Amino acid sequence: MPLSEQEQRLLEEMERSLYNNDSDFVATVGNRGGRPNYTLVVVGVLGALVGIAVIVAGVIFRQPLIGVAGFVVMLAGVLFAIAPPKRKGASTSAMPSAPRSSTSRPPHPAKGGLMDRLNDRWDRRQDGDGRDA
């Protein structure tokens, strides 16, 4: 079912807003190019299976340290299998970079932690300030 004209305009407006307000996020998440390396996926899956076997062996022999080691091996195998492929010499982004307005503040204020920055952004959005860099 195609989108209505109003829905298409709303979607385009949302995309423009995302590019303008969170261009760093768009550049990071939007460009996940590259083909997966199936050799690494197979090795990771095999490592995960070995980890599961070591966990089972730890349960059979009633040795918690063997079970923990098996979990670590399994976790490493899964992380190895799902790791994004390495891109050679790719530091450019396929997403368009949006110009930042001169009134926007820097993305990382000097004081305050991550939660403080997120709370500030949320408050500004709720107040309708429009500046949520």
78 and 111 in a single domain? The answer is: no
pLDDT digits (tens, 9 = 90+) for 51-100: 999 999 999 999 999 999 999 999 999 998 998 777 655 444 444 444 44
Those residues with Cβ within 8 angstroms of residue 65's Cβ, 6 or more apart along the chain or in another chain = 58
Tell me whether residue 127 is in a domain. yes
Amino acid at 26: V
pLDDT digits (tens, 9 = 90+) for 4-40: 888 888 888 888 887 777 767 766 666 556 677 888 8
Tell me whether residue 87 is in a domain. no
Tell me whether residue 2 is in a domain. no
In total, how many domains does the chain have? 2
**89 φ/ψ angles, rounded to the nearest 5 degrees:** 60, 25
- Tell me if 7 sits within 8 A of 71, measured CB to CB: no
> Which of 113, 74, 91 lies closest to 33 in space, CA to CA?
91
Tell me whether residue 18 is in a domain. no
Tell me whether residue 133 is in a domain. yes
Identify the domain containing residue 49 by its residue range: 35-82
Those residues with Cβ within 8 angstroms of residue 76's Cβ, 6 or more apart along the chain or in another chain = 47, 51
- Tell me if 133 sits within 8 A of 104, measured CB to CB: yes
Tell me whether residue 9 is in a domain. no
78 and 109 in a single domain? The answer is: no
Tell me whether residue 5 is in a domain. no
Q: Is the pTM of this model over 0.75?
A: no
78 and 41 in a single domain? The answer is: yes
109 and 78 in a single domain? The answer is: no
